[in-house]
């Protein structure tokens, strides 16, 4: 279920980005409201692309970098939770 929601969020994100035509020099804030529940995507450059300074390739680079940071953060959180559970089990054994 969680993977499905992430995929839906990604799909929407990339639809928004591909609406930006090559050569357009300014872009507004990517819609935050539909993506907020998807924690790994919150890092997508905080959904703000600097207005007037990025081309489409740059935007895609920032999106992929942001997703990587977000997913790494999510994995770190899972590792931390797993370690906490292991410590809890050892303590209570």
Q: What is the pLDDT along the chain (93 residues), one digit of tens a residue?
A: 444 444 455 555 554 444 444 444 444 344 444 444 444 454 454 444 444 455 555 555 555 555 566 566 666 666 666 666 666 666 665
Tokens of 49: 């692309």
Per DSSP, 25 falls in state -
- CA 8 – CA 67 distance, rounded (Å): 14
* CA atoms of 26 and 39, how far apart (whole Å): 26
CB distance 50 to 76 below 8 Å: no
State how many domains the chain has. 1
Domain of residue 65 covers: 2-91
Global model pTM greater than 0.75: no
Distances (CA, A) of 20 to 29, 46, 49: 12, 18, 12
């Amino acid at each position: 279920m969680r993977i499905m929601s992430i995929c839906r969020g990604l799909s929407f994100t990339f639809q928004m980005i591909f609406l930006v035509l090559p050569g357009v020099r300014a872009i507004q804030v990517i819609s935050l409201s539909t993506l907020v529940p998807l924690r790994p995507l919150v890092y997508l450059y905080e959904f703000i692309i600097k207005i007037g300074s990025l081309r489409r390739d740059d935007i895609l680079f920032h999106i992929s970098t942001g997703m990587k940071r977000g997913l790494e953060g999510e994995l770190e959180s899972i590792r931390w939770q797993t370690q906490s559970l292991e410590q809890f089990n050892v303590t209570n054994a």
